[in-house]
Chains A and B, each alone.
Chain A
Amino acid sequence: MGTAPPAVETVELRKSYGGTVVLDGLTMRVARGSVYALLGPNGAGKTTTVRILATLTAPDGGAARVDGHDVVRDRRRVRRVISLAGQHAALDDQQTGTENLEMMARLAGLTRARARRRVADLVERFDLVEAAARRVATCSGGTRRRLDLAASLVGEPSVIFLDEPTTGLDPRSRQGLWEVVGELAGAGVTVLLTTQYLEEADRLADRIAVLHGGRLAAEGTASELKHRFGAHRLELTMRDAESFADAAHRLGDRVTRREPARLELGVTTDGSAPQVRDLLDEVDPGRRGLARFTVREATLDDVFLTLTGRPVTVDREVAGV
């Protein structure tokens, strides 16, 4: 195992679309059999990264390898081991789920009989027995995504890319999809998923890469990231605008959250009593400007804010950018 190449590897990956830099030297590495989350706001380069890895878009510079094969030179080899479930459910509306899946299975090289068995298996496993008999046009959004995910598994890929798999799904469908991803990981498949939902990355991924401005802003397990960027956060509410400005000035760039309208400041801390006491003294030496404080556990949101200076938005990423 030690000599096997990583499932996915990119080195200084670059891509621009008409003067707009989307990827600005992205280097990352995904271990075999792991679930890896690319986390970032709109335009961070998540979809572009996945498209390059799935051989759909050529990078301008740098290199990307899947299972040791270069995604440009050995495109066909790469295509043999990957599959992609994108933001659309890429299925024919006027075929039934089963027909769609059997078609994909036969394109993946299975004989008619084996395709039928494989699809029957998947349909059973994804709880799609009833839905798969209907034309896709009549299925709900959640069912389409499950069908789409099943379709991406017919060829038994060893690396699967999921581009925002739960965007636009209701909570129940999202839960169902999470379970499927968990099963895939259990079966030894490498899963690389993009998401703007911190909760999703936190729950599913072994490791998380935070993308910002087309670069890797941070990488690690969820708990590593939380620890590295402060396990706890001290939330301060100041008494008035003057004391707010004063405290903000004293903390400088240690401030991770700033809401002048509500006179609130956030700063990371290890949560220990001495450090919190020191911070409080530092912020408000005269003991008159601070109205309230709370200490709470850091979330990935805090990590994200610390790294990117802005909160994660929940709008859909513009496809292809």
Chain B
Amino acid sequence: MSETTTRPVFAADALIMIGRCVRLSRRNVDALLTSLLLPVILMLLFVYLFGGAIDTGTRYVTYVVPGVLLLCAGFGAASTAVSVTTDLTNGVVERFRTMDVSPTAILGGHVVASVVRNSVSTVLVLAVAVGIGFRPAFDPLRWTAAAGVLLLFLLAVSWLSAAFGLLARTPEAAGGFTFLVMFLPYPSSAFVPVETMPSWLRGFADHQPVTPVIETLRAMLLGTPAGSAPARAVAWCLGILAVAVLLAAVLFRRRVA
């Protein structure tokens, strides 16, 4: 991606693309509602239906909210795949290419819009959580750290999702990516402590990217010790981000050739 020679043009194009994707996101009311309602419903389900039977050592709502926030972020970010595939199939990307808009700007528009959109929905889900009794320990520094990790996670999943969108042939197929991302929090510490899982599953739960991100959010929001979770979370997110950006560059070239 060779926009280095024309930096001002690239920056201008990227801003236009971001504005476009934010506007399209705002108008996609169905997707917005789903990405908001699904985490909320899951949260209510877990807190009121299963929560009574799950012993986590704290009130269950306190335990589960960080996981729900991550699920909300991941699910919302994963829908980036659908937007990217839609662009590719309806000819818009070809027009942008004939107008010399760089692939980075085209995909970046979707990624940034996804980060913005899902930051907002995460805050809304957090507000609902407080409404049903979530009482975090407020500490500006730790909360900033939590927001930072969540943003990094959003960025990584959004790029990965964009790469998947370049792979999918139809928007419907691209939608499959959301299921994958939605499934990951289950075998993690999102809903139940990993210590309660059978050892083979625990091995997976301990070493998958979602667990350290959730553990970091939990520690930062509740004021408990975080251990090595933040470092592992950041490493996972940066790793995924690097792979996703590279993958997207390769796939874009292959897709449009």
Contact = CB atoms under 8 A, between A and B. Distances in A.
Interface stretch (B95-103, B134-142, B208-216): B95-103
Contacts, number: 64
A56 B97 contact: yes
Given A57-B257, A88-B90, A82 B98 contact: yes
A192 interface: no
Interface stretch (B21-29, B146-154, B222-230, B243-251): B21-29
Nearest to B9: A109
Nearest to A77: B100
Nearest to A137: B27
Nearest to A89: B91
B95 A84 contact: yes
- Majority-rule SS of B interface residues: helix
Q: In the complex, which range does the number of interface residues on chain B fall in?
A: 20 to 34
B75 to A, nearest CB: 21
Q: Chain A interface mostly helix, strand, loop or mixed?
A: loop
**Size category, A interface:** 20 to 34
Contact of B98 (A55, A58, A109): A55
B172 interface: no
Interface in B1-34: 9, 12-13, 16, 19-20, 23-24, 27-28
Contacts of A99: 23
A54 B93 CA distance: 13
B94 interface: yes
A275 interface: no
A86 B27 CA distance: 26
B53 interface: no
A90 B91 contact: yes
B257 A58 contact: yes
Contact of B95 (A87, A104, A109): A104
A76 B100 contact: yes
B40 to A, nearest CB: 25
A104 B95 CA distance: 9
Interface string A211-247: 0000000000000000000000000000000000000
7 contacts: A87-B91, A88-B90, A104-B95, A106-B12, A107-B101, A108-B99, A155-B99
Interface of A: 54-58, 76, 79-80, 82-84, 86-95, 99, 103-104, 106-109, 135, 151-152, 155
